[in-house]
Amino acid sequence: MAERYDVVVVGVGGMGSAALYHLARRGKRVLGLERFDVLHEHGSSHGLTRIIRLAYFEHPAYVPLMRRAYELWRDLEQEADEQLLHVTGIVEAGGRIYDGTLRSCQEHDLPHEVIDGREVGRRFPAYRLPADLPAIFQPDGGFLLPERCIVAHVRGALGRGAVVRARERVLEWKDSPHGVRITTDRGVVEAERIVLTAGAWSQDVARLPDGLVRGVRQVLAWIQPRRPELFAPERFPVFNLALDDEHFYGFPAFGIPGFKLGRYDHHGAGGDPDEIASEPTLEDETPLRAFADRYFPDGVGPTIALRTCLFEPSPDEHFLIDRHPESAHAVVAAGFSGHGFKFCSVVGEILADLALDGETRHDIELFRFARFA
């Protein structure tokens, strides 16, 4: 006879670990299945630090969710007795990032200052932005520690009776008379509900309509600063910048002796995530170092590390969070498009709502499948 659970969560990365945690908190018998290891570098829930910001240039509808996410991260910190969220402030500038962030701050009455590149450099000497570049500084911005966040969610779930199994790949799931029947490479499991949080693998694993999610390769660099004191978290806010027709983001030095930056490459290698090259190259490193040399010249010492990650954009780069279009027993969270990790805490809460109640108090209309109908 197959093992039986109330809910099975497929994929125990950022979103899946949070869903597992919130389901276990509600007293459900829950199983998490992870194809790789719990903590791995194949997807996008790794990299030592991930940006968190309250204002949201992508769409004002994200801000109420972001407020709740901050609350839940603070709650998780207290339970884990570990700092997971570091507040540094955030500098945002350039094009639609500046325009959208300012609109978001004004619509939601968020703390912010409108300054220019000259003032940014005066306050934070590692920055060398164009003097007249309009910029927004938000004091609530900062970074999360993604690996530690996943561990905290998993540990909290395990402490409430959840089961987590790594190195177990889901081969198939289908509706059954009693809910869902899930076949893995180790056996068969049954559950009343299934929560699908498979990241860049969601198109296949979640059986989504064609073209809703694709894996896109991105590269991150950690560069040893020439003046490390300028890149410490207390002196270097995270940044999100649209400059030179490119989108770069970055972090202070934390965890390893290098400040971190990434380039959002919308045209990066995409397709089947199992076929995308995971090893970074010199060609990947060059534009990252060139950007650092131009705008953070005191930061450009030797490269300390290069890593790839897989973003999972949807066609409009907004999230996909909804009940499955073909199954009343399945819930999907996907398409987080490189800006989702900060929302893991609240997405976990939403997924538990949808799996158990079929609805949520949170406004997720922007993220439903119907927009692509």
d(CA 86, CA 243): 26
Beta bridge partners of 332: 196, 322
Predicted pLDDT at 337: 84
Asked whether 268 and 235 are in contact (CB, 8 A), the reply is no
The rounded distance, in Å, linking the Cα atoms of 76 and 71 is: 9
Residue 144 vs residues 49, 73, 90, 283: alpha-carbon distances, Å: 6, 9, 13, 28
Q: Which residues pair with 218 in a beta bridge?
A: 309
Look at the block and give the residue holding tokens 């056996």: 187
Instruction: Classify the phi-psi angles of 274: left when phi > 0, otherwise alpha if psi is within -120 to 50, otherwise beta.
Output: alpha
Residue 59: per-residue pLDDT: 87
Q: Please tell me whether residue 327 adopts helix, strand or coil conformation.
A: coil
- Looking at residue 373, its pLDDT comes to 83
**Three-state secondary structure along 121-177?**
HHHCCCCCCCCCCEEEEECCCEEECHHHHHHHHHHHHHCCCCEEEECCCEEEEEEEC
Which parts of the chain have pLDDT scores under 70?
none
Beta bridge partners, 184, equal 170, 187
- Output phi, psi for 282, to 5 deg: -60, -35
| Distance spanning both ends of the chain, measured CA to CA | 39
pLDDT digits (tens, 9 = 90+) for 28-55: 999 999 999 999 999 999 999 999 999 9
In DSSP notation, 22-77 reads HHHHTT--EEEEESS-SS-SSSSS-SS-EEE-SS-SS-TTHHHHHHHHHHHHHHHH
Closest listed residue to residue 92, CA positions, set 68, 66, 113? 113
pLDDT value, residue 63: 96
